[in-house]
Structure formats: C-alpha cells, structure tokens
Amino acid sequence: MDQAKIRNFSIIAHIDHGKSTLADRILQVTDTVADRDMKEQLLDSMELERERGITIKAQAVRVLWRGHQLNLIDTPGHVDFTYEVSRSLQACEGALLVVDAAQGIEAQTLANAYLAIENNLEIVPIVNKIDLPQADPDGAAAEVADLVGDDPERVLRISAKTGQGVEDVLDAIIERIPAPTGDAAAPARALIFDSSYDQYRGVVAFVRVVDGRFETGEPLRAMAQGTRFEAEELGFLTPDRRPVKTLEAGEVGYVITGLKDVSKLGVGDTLTSEKRPAKEPLPGYKEVKPMVFAGLFPTDSDAYPELRDALERLKLNDGALFYEPETSQALGFGFRCGFLGLLHMEIVRERLEREFDLDLIVTAPNVAYRVRPRPGADWVEVHNPSDMPTEIDEVEEPYIKASIIVPKEYVGAVMELCNDRRGTFDHMEYLSEERVHLVYELPLGEIVLDFYDQLKSRTRGYASFDYDMAGFKPGHLVRVDVLVAGEPVDALSLIIHREFAYDRGKLLVERLRKEIPRQFFDVAIQAAIGARIIARETVKAKRKDVLAKCYGGDISRKRKLLEKQKKGKKRMKQVGGVEVPQEAFLAVLNLDDRK
Amino acid sequence: MNAHHLYVHLPFCSHRCGYCDFVTVTGHEGDHGGYVDALLGELELERGLLSDEVDTIFLGGGTPTFTEPAALARLLAGLPRAAETTVEANPETVTPGLAALLREHGVNRVSLGAQSFQPHLLETLERRARPEDVRGAVHTLRDAGFDNVSLDLIYGIPGQSVGDLERDLAEALALEPEHLSCYELEAKPGTRFTHAHGEELERQANAMEGYFERVVETLTGAGYRWYETANFCRFDDERDGDRDLRSGHNLGYWLGHDYLGIGVGAVSTVAGMRWRNAPSLPRYLASLRRGERPQRELEPLAADVRARERVLLGLRLDEPLSTAGLNGALDHDALARLQRLGLADVRDGGATLALTRRGRFLGGGVTAELLV
C-alpha cells in the first residue's frame, strides 16, 4: 500500500484509564471485528492481563478507515517494560495519549508521554470517560494540553465506553499523525517491536517495516543478534492472523520464523533480507537486562523438575526472563531468576502458581550489583548476595529516576519515605494546584522490597509511581551474613547500605532466635560483616525432651510418635548441625521492619 | 516363646478423672462379677501363651481396688502365682480389709495413685483422695505387711508451684516408699480438662523442664535410683540388702519382653504379634460369654520395628542397652553426633549403648534422632 495511506500509532494511558476499551471500540467502529465476536478487551489475550487490567505483551492490529490502513500497536503498560514500550513507540509515527477525565495525569502517563515525545511522535491528546459523573474534562484537558504543549481545544473528549467521539479519534489519526516516510526502494529493514511463541510454528515476530519490502519464503537475518531464518509466513492481525505475500515499507505485520527460542529475536533488533541486506541496522537496539533477582524454590522439593519445565515454557514467550539453577542449603534446589522489575517478577510468580499449579517460596528480591574485588580487577556482576565477594574494592548498585505524582498534602510523607530510602531529590513541579510531580533518584535496591506498598500506604493510595533505570552508582554497601552455630546461612545473606547493616542484622538474628526451635545444645545466631560480628543471640539448649511414660499399652503409640518426630527432623534443614524448620527461613525472608 | 508377664485390666472407677485417658468404666458396679468371669475366661483361652513360670502380674486400671472385694478375691485366686504381683490402688480405697484381702491372695506390691499431697491440686485433678488418705493408705499397707509400696506423683498440674512440687516430694519421701513414679501431666487436646485449664497448662508446660530437674535431683539426692525416665526406686544396701526394688513388671516392658494382657482394652505382645482388645466393655463381656476371644486389633511387629522398640524402651533405663541385633535400627551418624554432644555413650567396645545423665533428660528427642 502507498505509504501516504498508512498511519501507525500507539495508545498511551495509565492503568484503567481506558486504553483497552478504546482499542476494542476502534475495532468495532471500523468493522474489523463483528459485534458478535467482540469479547471485552480483545487485545489483552492473557487471563492475567485481563485481571490486572494491564497489557503485558504488545500486539498490533490493522484496521481500515476511510481508505487508510491504520495500525494500532499496543504497548505494554508498565514501568518494567519501558524498553519494550520505547520500541513499540519507535514503530509508530503518532500516539493517542488517553487520560481519565476524573483522574487526570498519572506518573505512568507522564513517563510514557515523555518517551513518545523523545521518539518524535505526534501526540493526539484525548480525555476519556467524559460520561462519568465525577469527570472533569476541562481540568484533565488542561493538564494534558500543558503536558504535550497543545491547545486545550485540540484535546479530544470521548467516552470509549459509550463510543462517543471514537470516530473523531480515527479521523484525527489520519489528519494529525504523519504517514511513514521510509525508502520503499532501499534494502529491506524492519524493526522488531515484540515477539511471541506459537507452539506449532515457533517464534512469531511483530515488525514495522521501515524500508523496502519483505517476501514470504525469503531468508532473513536479525542484524544485531545475527539470527538467520526463513520467513515462513508474513501477515497482519485483525486481530486474527491474515497471511499476505509481502510486507512493504510503512506497514506493520508479523513474521512466522520457525525459530524455537524467543530470545534469539530480541525486541529492538532489525530484520533485513539476506538477498539484499541493509548496511546499517535501525538505531536503538539494546539487550534487555534483568535488574531484579530472586530465588524461586518449590515448597515441595520433589516439584523441582516441574518448576524447571514451567520456567522453560514461560521463557518461550518472555525473552526478558532469566533463570539459572540455584542450590540453597536452606531451601534446597531452585532457580535464581532475573526480572525486568517487580511487576515482572510478580507476574512470573503468579503465572507459575496459577498456570502450572506450583507452590513456591520466593526469597527476598535483590538487585544486580557491579563489583570490583581489587583495584584494577575486572568488574563482575553479582545477582545473589551470597555470591558477593568478601573482598570488595568498589561496588556499584543500580539507581532509578523515580517519578511520583501525589496530591500536595502528601508531599512531606513522600519526601520522608524517599529520604529514608537513600533517595536524592531531583526536582518537583506542580501539575495543577492540587497535584505535585516529584522526581527522586533512588537506589533500586531500596525499591525492591516494599517501597511501592509504603508509598501507597503513606499517601492513602493517591500516589502514582513510575521509574526509569538511571545507571549504576557506587554505594557504601556491605554484605551481611547470618551465621547459625558458626555456619553462614546462604539464603539469609543480604547486601545493604553500611548505615542500615547493624539494625537489620540485629533484627534478623532476633527473629531467627524466635523461629529456631531449641536444640540439644546452645545455638549461637550471629550477623556478621566479613569476620566482624555485629549482632548475636542464643537459642538456649533444651533441658527436657522425654515421653512422660511408656508401658505395655502404649508402646506402639510412643514408637509412632518418635518415628514421626524423626521424620520431622529429616525434613528440617541442617545448618551447622542445627535443625531449622523451613518456616524459620520463610519468616525471616519475609522480614520487614519498616512497616 | 511364652510370656512371663501378665497384665490384667480392671476398668472400674467411681469417677473418671478429667485428665485420664485409660480405658475406664464408671457406673457398672453390678458387672464386676461378670467381668471377672470374662477375665478368667480369656486367661483360660490364652493360657497357652503364658509360661508355666509367670514372673510378674500387674493389675491395672481403672481402679482395681474399686472392684467389688468378692469379685477381686475370686480374680486373684484364679491368677497364677508370680514372684511379683502388683495391684494399682487409689488411696481412698485402701482399707485394712482390702489390704488383708490382697495379702491373702498373693499380692506383694501395691502401686498407690497418690498424685499429690496438696488439696487444691487433688481437687483440680478430680481425685477423691485427701492428703491424709494417701498417708493413711501407706500406713494401712505397712500394717498389713506390705514391704513394697510405690507412689505415683504428677507434676505440672494447673495451679501448681515449684513450692507445691517440693512439698509433694518431701511428703512422699517421708513415707519412705520403696518406689516412686513421677509423671508430667499429659493433658490431651480436646479433653474437658484441657479445655478448662488451657492457659494454665501452657504456663505449666513452660515450667516443666524445671520441674523434671527438681524431681530427679530431689529423689536421687534422697538416695533413690533414677532407673527409668519417670521411675525411681529406693537404693539403700543397708536397708534393703540386695533387693531389687524396680518394678519387675514394667521392667519387662522396657527390656522388650513378651507380655500377655487380658481384659477390656488390654494390649499383649507375644512372639512378634501385638494385639489390643477392643475397648467396649459390653462387647468384651458378650464375646467371652460365648467362650470366644474378644474382638482385637492386630499389629504384626516386623523385626525392624521390634528393634526400634527395643531401642526406644531400653534407652529409658539407666542400665546400658545391649546393641546386639540392634545396629540396623540405629543411625550411626546420629550416634556419633550425640556422643560428641555428650548425650550418648557407647561402652564395651560398642556392645552397649547408654545415655548420659543429660542425655536422659533429653531421652525422647535423643531416641528420635538415634532411630533409623
């Protein structure tokens, strides 16, 4: 199709501000999906996405409107997927910025709007839910117009729910968003903005063709990763797959690759034709690296193979998920998993429990650290506190730039929280008379435990929060080990700012003292930084452990009692000759003093 | 292999104490004669399992001495002769007449369920006896010529203090019994007793280790031998010569000997088979009236199970346990660990195993660890 008749766009919105409803309505108004086939929120195909009202995996749908081909590229709606969002936006020339008429701008809207502006996208501002009784369309329109530097009069006011104004949105897409301007004659280049795994046909890549054209059956190559494959099928989504012979400059569609490993086709990579390859890939590719790590262990150690299979299957569809086997003396066999962020972790965990019926123990999450053991030595990345070298010359931890929007009366509470978490104030601005946008730089390690919960509770749920990775910075970090009867307990090691080490160590050993049952001998529980003990507690030895009486009538019962006791002992983990019930580790892993 | 030990269960009680979990029957006074008929019938049926030389007989309950005297006399007359015949008695039932009856019928040992000498604790336990009944019962037995009397004491009773326990021990010692059994109160979950004393039982549970140490220290300090986890016997050469005042019958259990048990709910272990008579009195009576064995629950004891039982029972005693044939039941890594901790001791080049004094205080847990 002539590029002048093509428009590629995304929808940017905060959770629940109506992105999916608007997308559904667009499919209906353009007769792409017959009314009778309309499921609510068609684009969110995973059950979990629907429940949480967020889109985890983006997809792209083609609709026709007044002689034009409109491609709606859906974006993942959460902070953990910022990079994927940016690639989806790169595949577009414009974006619909949807804001709830009652809620106004939220942190997530802001983050994605800035991303869109950075990508030079034409933004079509929209205020949605104008049918709601508490709606303030003018207020919301003023905020949005201010954000994108547009005239409030140009902000569309719609109700995706009732369909009011949706046709105007489609018209505005054609009128305001520029057509693609790729070189149709140049060697073929397409941006991969998403991929998924089809169990029959392998990896399916979703692409935006920038230059040239792709043909079914021709050999292709992903330029950054060097992956080669044949285009088994090309096509577009309506949202069903519609195969076509060619995908041309400006168009959006899918490529069935037959590849078995989704991580071989990274989001952001450039596809080109092997016959006439492009010289340069499209800009902006980077490898997505997990930033948050946690150990996943099956509650029942027999379920280890099932956990492994489940992770393998999730990984097929989730190139960002990282995992490797981990053995913990406390928790047995499991996996150390890496995630883009906390939501990603939560989603993976929920899917494992729900779709694969696994009971999991998840250790306290930690971030990736960069460590240089000696001056001049190579930097190494550490994903597990117990792997942190004891000898450290320099250590760096990841920082984020946090964007928090709150009603002004909570500014003090938020600042206090951010300061407690080693945050550095960046700046603050008033979005309106009532609402303030705060920007802080914070160590990611301070966020992974419960920052978001704390933020919600200290602002009565009014705060919205988003963040961007802001690189690694040196930190005064120490590794605190917990020793039971002189032996370190790997699952309880933690990396923490020197300033918090003493309190945290003390709290850990106190809690552990309460959780570890009394043994036949005194058990020392210590917290240590290297060889230096910073806290100590003792579980006093048991002085009595007998079966009160045992005569002819109850030998069987007493025997069974002891056999049961023996079995219980076998299930307990041995640390330094001390029997520690798994629950003790769990209680300590869930430790949080800052509630 | 025939059993040298006979247990006879007499389930009758005037009242069921709140903490009791034995097979007991109240309000069946009229059936005592019929029950004794049934017991003698069962004994007749199982006569073949019993050795011609019976070492010990133990009449337990229930309250054996609550049984109608004529019925009790008829029962005792129908039992074989034994070197040690023990009858359990509640203090308030011990009259000169009863004492004489027991003596006449070959009973030479009486185990008195004293439990406590403190009125408020006896009341909590729902015991009928008063402290003076306990003292009176001992004197009555002595007057009747009994030279082997045992007292049962319970500690950890709701409302009990360390002082109460010390007074109980002192009172018991003042009576110079040949034998003492001291049990911690085991309140079974779900019983009305546990329900009524929940919080206080919790407090007592926390004090229990201190009580146990106090009991052992006081009694061994008074010259008694702590020969089994909960049992003590007088150990005084001058006074008792070479008399072994341990409970011969119970020693049979702890040494893993076979025993025949008759009566409702009674348990027997003979030649690798254990069985428990059904606990229903009417059914027991009906079966025996028909001349049939009572309904039973059978439990075959495999060799490994018997070996484990030998360990668990044997380690309750102060004498070393011979490990012959028991090595398969022992976790040798655990044993080495327990030795290092000073809780267990291997002697005679590995031929015997014993717990140290501290090991005995932890005997249950130590045994659980030792067993494979």
pLDDT tens digits, A456-505 = 889 887 888 888 888 999 989 999 999 999 988 888 888 889 888 998 89
The SS3 call for residue A323 is: strand
Q: Chain A residues with CB inside 8 Å of B317's CB?
A: none
Query: Which two structure tokens, joined as six digits, stand for B26?
Result: 């109240």
User: What pLDDT is attached to residue A57?
Assistant: 47
Q: Is A518 on the interface with B (CB under 8 A)?
A: no
Strand-pair partners of A369? A382
Distance from CA of A298 to the nearest CA of B (A): 27
Q: Is the pLDDT of residue A63 over 70?
A: yes
What's the mean pLDDT when you consider all of chain A?
86
pLDDT for the residue numbered A138: 92
Contact yes or no for A110/A410 (Cβ under 8 A): no
Put simply, the answer to whether A559 touches B341 (Cβ < 8 Å) is no
Residue at token pair 């074989």: B80
Chain B residues closer than 8 Å to A521 by CB: 341
A542 touches chain B (CB under 8 A): yes
Per-residue buried b or exposed e for A288-326, using 16+ beta carbons within 10 Å of the residue's own CB: bebbbbbbbbbeeeebbeebbebbebbbbbbbbbbbeeb
B-chain residues within 8 Å CB-CB of A558? 312
Question: Contact A544/B274, CB-based, under 8 Å?
Answer: no
Residue A329, pLDDT above cutoff 60: yes
Any B CB within 8 A of A547 CB = yes
- For the stretch A163-183, pLDDT in tens is 999 999 999 999 999 999 999
Residues of A in contact with B341 (CB under 8 A): 520-521
Task: Tell me which chain A residues have a C-beta less than 8 angstroms from the C-beta of B259.
Answer: 552
What is residue A426's predicted lDDT score, i.e. its pLDDT? 96
Picking from B266, B316, B371, the nearest residue to A566 by CB comes out as B371
Is B362 within 8 Å of A542 when comparing Cβ atoms? yes
Contact: A551, B313; criterion CB under 8 Å:
no
Contacts of B315 in chain A (CB under 8 A): none
DSSP B45-109: HHGGGB-SSEEEEEEEES-GGGS-HHHHHHHHHHSPPEEEEEEEE-GGG--HHHHHHHHHTT--E
Quick check: A318 pLDDT over 80?
no
CB contact under 8 A, A566 and B368: yes
- In sequence order, what are the residues at sequence separation of 6 or more whose Cβ sits closer than 8 angstroms to the Cβ of residue B270? B1, B2, B3, B49, B258, B259, B260
Chain B residue whose CA is closest to A553: B267
Chain A residues lying within 8 Å of B313, measured CB to CB: 550, 555
Whether B361 and A521 lie within 8 Å, measured CB to CB = no
Q: SS3 of A95, please? A: strand
CB-CB neighbors (< 8 A) of A523 in chain B: none
Which one of A552, A558, A577 has the shortest CB-CB distance to B261? Answer: A552
Contact state of B183 with A548 under an 8 Å Cβ cutoff: yes
Phi, psi at B65, each rounded to 5°: -80, 0
Kindly report, residue by residue over A196-218, the tens digit of the pLDDT: 888 888 899 999 999 999 999 99
Q: What are phi and psi of B227, to 5 degrees?
A: -90, -15
Look at A342-346, A394-398, B208-212, B287-291 and tell me which has the smallest mean pLDDT.
A342-346
pLDDT at A240: 83
- State whether A545 and B265 contact (CB < 8 Å): no
Task: Say yes or no to pLDDT of A573 above 90.
Answer: no
pLDDT in tens, A107-117: 878 878 888 88
Among chain A residues, CA nearest to B211 = A544
Contacts of B261 in chain A (CB under 8 A): 552-553
Q: From CA A46, how far away is CA A139, in angstroms rounded?
A: 34
Q: What is the pLDDT of residue A36?
A: 57
Decide if B112 contacts B151 (C-beta within 8 A): yes
In whole angstroms, what is the distance from residue A310 CA to residue B53 CA? 69
Q: Suggest the residue from B23, B184, B343 to mutate for an interface test with chain A (most A CBs closer than 10 A).
A: B184
Angstrom distance (rounded) from CA A59 to CA A88: 9
CB of A331 closer than 8 Å to CB of A403: no
The alpha-carbon gap from A406 to the nearest alpha carbon of chain B, in Å, equals 49
**3-class SS at A504?**
helix
Nearest to B267 among A549, A552, A563 (CB): A552
ipTM: 0.93
For B28-66, the pLDDT digits (tens) are: 666 899 999 999 999 999 999 999 999 999 999 889 999
Q: Tokens standing for A276?
A: 């006439």
A543 touching B (Cβ < 8 Å): yes
Q: How confident is the model at residue A44 (pLDDT cuts 50, 70, 90)?
A: very low
Inform me whether the pLDDT recorded for B111 exceeds 50. Answer: yes
CB nearest to B365's CB, from A542, A549, A554 = A542
Residue of B nearest to A559 (CA): B309
- B361 and A544 within 8 Å at the Cβ level: the answer is yes
Residues from chain A contacting residue B309 (CB–CB below 8 Å):
555, 559
Q: What is the pTM of this model?
A: 0.67
Greatest CA separation for chain B: 60
Chain B hits for A556, CB-CB cut-off 8 Å, are 267, 274, 299
CA triplet B12, B13, B15: central angle to 5 degrees? 150
Determine contact: A546 vs chain B, CB below 8 A: yes
A39 inside 8 A of chain B by CB: no
CB B330 within 8 A of CB B371: yes
Kind of pairing between the strands at A122-128 and A60-65? unpaired
By Cβ distance, the residue of A545, A549, A569 closest to B183 is A549
Residue A552 Cα, gap to closest chain B Cα (Å): 6
The Cα-based distances of B208 to A23, A71, A110, B116, B186 in angstroms read 70, 77, 65, 16, 11
Phi, psi torsion values for A552, nearest 5 degrees? -55, -30
Total CB pairs under 8 A between chain A and B:
103
Query: Is pLDDT larger for residue B146 or for residue B347?
Result: B146
Among A542, A551, A554, which would you mutate to test the B interface (most chain B Cβ atoms within 10 Å of its Cβ)? Answer: A551
Task: Say how many CA atoms lie within 13 Å of B111 toward its Cβ.
Answer: 28
Residue in chain A nearest B183 by alpha carbon: A548
Interface-testing mutation among A546, A558, A564, with chain B (most B C-beta atoms within 10 A): A546
pLDDT at site B114: 95
Reported as a single tens digit per residue, the pLDDT across B183-204 is: 999 888 878 888 889 889 988 9
Q: Which structure tokens are listed for A390?
A: 């004891």
* Mutation for A interface: B209, B226, B231, most A CBs within 10 A: B209
Q: What tens digit of pLDDT does each residue of B356-365 get?
A: 999 999 999 9
Residue A37's pLDDT band, with cuts at 50, 70 and 90, is low
| Chain B partners within 8 Å of A517 (Cβ) | none
